[in-house]
A and B are shown apart, each in its own frame.
Chain A
Amino acid sequence: MTQSVKQEHHAAEIDIFGFWTYILSDCILFASLFAVFAVLHHNTYAGASIKASIQLPYILLETLVLLSSSFTYGLGILALYQQQTKMLLFYLFFTLFLGCLFVGLELNEFVHLYMEGQSWQSSAAFSAFFTLVGTHGLHVSLGIIWMLVLFIQILFFGPNAFMQKRLTYLGLFWAFLDIIWIFVFTIVYLMEAI
């Protein structure tokens, strides 16, 4: 490795470290939302409990969709390393599809809750619920827009060094959203439904 290549590699490492620091601070944001939910989840203002409106199999489907999207994104990154642009675009498209499916399922769940008369104004418990789950959904939606932009950029410019860096950032972000969802699934849905 020549000196300049080494330095370039080092600069890329530092950039990724910066993005990693952002993700960790986002984790702390989610931790405070989880803490709020854990404190308020019984305060239903004499209305229906969260437990009554949870359908576990539906939530399991959402979980599996998001988990698969993390895996297909990983396969896309591998196609990038092997310089197979078509496979990369295919996997990105598949990941986009799964991401949209996840957000669609979640919106459908929210609409159903609203029809049953549960909105974020019903009680402290539902405020905490919608804030936590909604913030995660908002992150996934932004990730989808980001992925769409990268998809179009790769179509036009091919997977150059810039695109590789951007895809690495998005990969970290996407894996992070999957990890947050594990805890949403466990704490908000499974533990609440018991």
Chain B
Amino acid sequence: MSHPEQVARNDKKNKKTLSSYVLGFVLSLVLTLAAFRLAEQHLLTGTSLYIALTFLALMQLGVQSLCFLRLNMSEEGRWNLFPFLFSIFIIAILAGGSLWIMYHLNINMQQ
């Protein structure tokens, strides 16, 4: 490991990791504060506020997955990325499906 070439390569890799962490932290802070301000001061109303908050949360999911979890399309990274995408698919079915069914049951019960 003490090879000078190896050391230089590690240094470069560490710098890249550091900038990725800092970028992730700053972006997450901005997105969190933006979501907080939107909800606190009612800058939008009704459905558009819900859509904006969902969008900000999904943005932050993306930022943290890329910057903190370091998900990527490299040959090794793909092994982690594809199960991750598959889980998102399952979660969408699970949560979306539950809400859809319960919403309809609720409407039918009111009649």
A31 adjacent to B53 (CB under 8 Å): no
A191 adjacent to B50 (CB under 8 Å): yes
Contact of A172 among B35, B69, B91 (CB under 8 A): B69
Residues of A in contact with B, size category: 35 or more
Contact of B18 among A13, A56, A78, A186 (CB under 8 A): A78
Q: Is the interface of A mostly helix, strand, loop or mixed?
A: helix
What is the CB-to-nearest-CB distance from A66 to chain B, in angstroms, rounded to a whole number? 10
Residues of B in contact with A, size category: 35 or more
Q: Pick the 5 closest A-B CB pairs, nearest first.
A: A35-B98, A31-B91, A186-B57, A190-B39, A74-B21
B76 adjacent to A67 (CB under 8 Å): no
Q: Is the interface of B mostly helix, strand, loop or mixed?
A: helix
Q: Which residues of B contact A145 (CB under 8 A)?
A: none
Is the C-beta of A182 less than 8 angstroms from some C-beta in chain B? Answer: yes
A-B residue pairs in contact (CB < 8 Å), sample of 12: A39-B98, A39-B102, A60-B32, A63-B32, A64-B29, A67-B28, A67-B32, A68-B25, A71-B25, A75-B21, A78-B17, A190-B39
What is the CB-to-nearest-CB distance from B15 to chain A, in angstroms, rounded to a whole number? 10
A28 adjacent to B87 (CB under 8 Å): yes
Q: Which residues of A contact B18 (CB under 8 A)?
A: 75, 78
Q: In the complex where A32-B94, A67-B28, A67-B32 touch, is A191 in contact with B40 (Cβ < 8 A)?
A: no
Chain-B contact segment, one of A16-24, A127-135, A149-157: A16-24
Q: In the complex where A28-B87, A35-B99, A39-B98 touch, is A182 in contact with B39 (Cβ < 8 A)?
A: no
Is the C-beta of A194 less than 8 angstroms from some C-beta in chain B? Answer: yes
Q: Which residues of A contact B33 (CB under 8 A)?
A: 60
